[in-house]
Structure 1
Amino acid sequence: MNEAKKNSHMVGTVSELSVMLEYAKRGYTINLPTTPARYDFIAEKDGRSVKVQVKHGSTFNGERELLGFSKTPYNKRDVDVIAMFDSNDGTIYYIPTDHVEGMTSIRLRIEPYLYSVKSEKALIAEHYKKFIG
């Protein structure tokens, strides 16, 4: 495995463990799939389960936005929430899958827009800070 691939794998692992830790701190049991699945883990608490897909958000656009990619489109039948992890400050953004249904990339605008012209492609990060469990 080359160095870039190792680093990419490590970033993904850190993101997944950080999100799992947040669910565990809130009293959720973490279940990992034993075979390939569209979600990274299932969090369970009080008879409710949530399928979570974790994405590492890479900053771009002068660090005003986060971007996360998927090889296949997001589908609410397969995943309940996409948890995007920002390794710059440890923030986790919880995006309901129906907000990104059919998409293969997610753009989150971290900083407020300075002008009235806004990108229709970017979701406002502030709207997705609320934990979903």
Structure 2
Amino acid sequence: MARPRTWSDEQLAHALAGAASWTEATRRLGLNPYGKTIARLRGHALRLNLDVSHLKSRVGAVPITSPQPGSPLDIEEQVLRQAIQESRTWPEVQGKLGLSQHHRPQRRTQEAAERFGIDTSGIFRQDWNGAPVQALPVPFFRPPAPENLSKAGAAMATTWFMERGYMVSVPLEPARYDLIAESDEGLKRIQVKTTRAHTVGIGRTVYGTGTSPSTGRYGRGVYAPGEIDLFFIYTWDRRSYLIPLEAVQGQMTLNLQKYESYRLSHLDERVQAPPPARQRKSRARRQPGSMPG
């Protein structure tokens, strides 16, 4: 609802007749000379068919011809420039100018700033929460360390599956595999390996096969079918591979350069979008009393 007028038509005619500018006429009526006020006075002057040819617009002001919404903002360049320099958000600019902080009036102010060529790079988004929050220190200063790579492997594998909607489980008791992941073909057993080089060992510890005095009876062996399904390999330079056991059967060490086709970035490119869901055909309603065809 519009605010009630505090002046009459006669007072407006008298103020306009004795003023040299719209700003002076506005102040003669005891009004704020910004924004919609001058636009409203112009509209009433037009309604009353008053002579305003002697009134001058303010120097450098954006002309306004009607009080309709969306019309250019009538404001002095220096006033707008100062308000922008002293503010961080557009609502703050509007508040300094005594204007509405809704989106449309803000847009008119922005358009006026563009016409004047005022730098608005210091103004953030239009909402009150647009200004950045001052950064506070957090108690984590250590850089990534190669010796922690093996600890991060399972977490990186879990992240890859979970981001794609495949739930991951961890065995409660020691097992040949590190993770169980859902797949489009059922549950799969995942063995996680990490490496800092282009090669990675994929063997497992086997009791009773060792011959070295330092390792006793523990040696190395290969994974047999039925023990795991896939290897998830994570490298120090942030590369990931997902390799089926069948592709490495019998090997103890892999040269990853030979397995680029199993690198996850390449696998993602080969994934095809699922077929669209079947649309159920809508049946036409049978009118009461009608016989089926």
How high is the TM-score relative to the length of structure 1?
0.68
Higher strand share: 1
Match of 1:121 in 2: none
Report the secondary structure of 1:37's partner residue. Answer: coil
The structural deviation recorded for 1:98 is 0.8
Match of 1:70 in 2: 203
Question: For residues 243 and 150 of structure 2, what CA distance do their matches in structure 1 show?
Answer: 18
Match of 1:82 in 2: 231
Deviations 1:71-128 (A, max 9, x none): 331223111110111121x22111110111232222211xxxxxxxxxxxxxx23211
Report the secondary structure of 2:176's partner residue. Answer: coil
Structure-2 change in CA distance of 1:31 and 1:107 (3 Å): same
| Larger RCO (CA within 8 A; separation ≥ 6) | 1
Q: What letter matches 1:92 in structure 2?
A: S
Match of 1:98 in 2: 246
Q: State how 1:20-99 maps to structure 2 within 5 Å.
A: 20-45=158-183, 48-59=186-197, 65-71=198-204, 72-88=221-237, 90-99=238-247
RMSD: 2.0
Match of 1:125 in 2: 259
* Number of residue-to-residue matches in the alignment: 104
Question: For residues 69 and 99 of structure 1, what CA distance do their matches in structure 2 show?
Answer: 12
Question: For residues 104 and 66 of structure 1, what CA distance do their matches in structure 2 show?
Answer: 10
How high is the TM-score relative to the length of structure 2?
0.33
Q: What letter matches 1:17 in structure 2?
A: A
Q: Residue 202 of structure 2 contacts residue 222 of structure 2 at CA under 8 Å; is this kept in 1? A: no
Match of 1:119 in 2: none
Question: For residues 244 and 202 of structure 2, what CA distance do their matches in structure 1 show?
Answer: 16
Q: Percent identity?
A: 26
The structural deviation recorded for 1:38 is 0.7
Q: State how 1:11-26 maps to structure 2 within 5 Å.
A: 11-26=149-164
Deviations 1:31-52 (A, max 9, x none): 1011111110001256711111
